[in-house]
Structure formats: C-alpha cells, structure tokens
C-alpha cells in the first residue's frame, strides 16, 4: 500500500480497497474513508505559531 497516506481518524497507514464500495479505499483499522498525506501540515510549524501569538500578546500588553 501507499505509506504516504494516513487515516484522519486513527492515524493508521493500513489501507484496503473495499470491493463492496466499488474499490474505494478505506482504513483497515477503523473503516474510515477520510485520508490525508503524511507531509501535509495545515498550520506549519507549531513552535513558530506559538512564538507569533506570544509576540502579539506582548505587543498588546505594551500598547
């Protein structure tokens, strides 16, 4: 299977093609059909986000 895709529900990379659903890929562990790429990061680096939020809060306090 393609190990670059993981399940959104359980995080597993065990995918199977379900014949009863017309070959649609489903998670072997939980049965979900919602997937994403492992490399996909919607928020980027969390450390940078926390630093940015801390900077904004500090700026608001000073003003």
What is residue 1's predicted lDDT score, i.e. its pLDDT?
Answer: 47
Q: What is the pTM of this model?
A: 0.47
pLDDT per position as a tens digit, 21-46: 777 788 888 877 777 666 655 555 67
Give me the residue spans of the domains in the chain.
5-62
Structure tokens at 46: 């969390």
CA angle 45, 50, 57 (to 5 degrees): 150
pLDDT per position as a tens digit, 42-61: 555 677 788 899 999 999 99
61 φ, ψ (degrees, to nearest 5): -65, -40
**CB 6 within 8 Å of CB 13:** yes
């Amino acid at each position: 299977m393609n190990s670059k895709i993981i399940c959104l529900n359980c995080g597993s990379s065990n995918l199977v093609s379900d014949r009863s659903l017309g070959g649609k890929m489903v998670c072997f562990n939980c049965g979900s059909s919602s997937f994403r790429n492992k490399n996909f990061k919607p928020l980027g680096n969390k450390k940078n986000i926390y630093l940015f939020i801390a900077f904004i809060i500090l700026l608001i306090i000073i003003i």
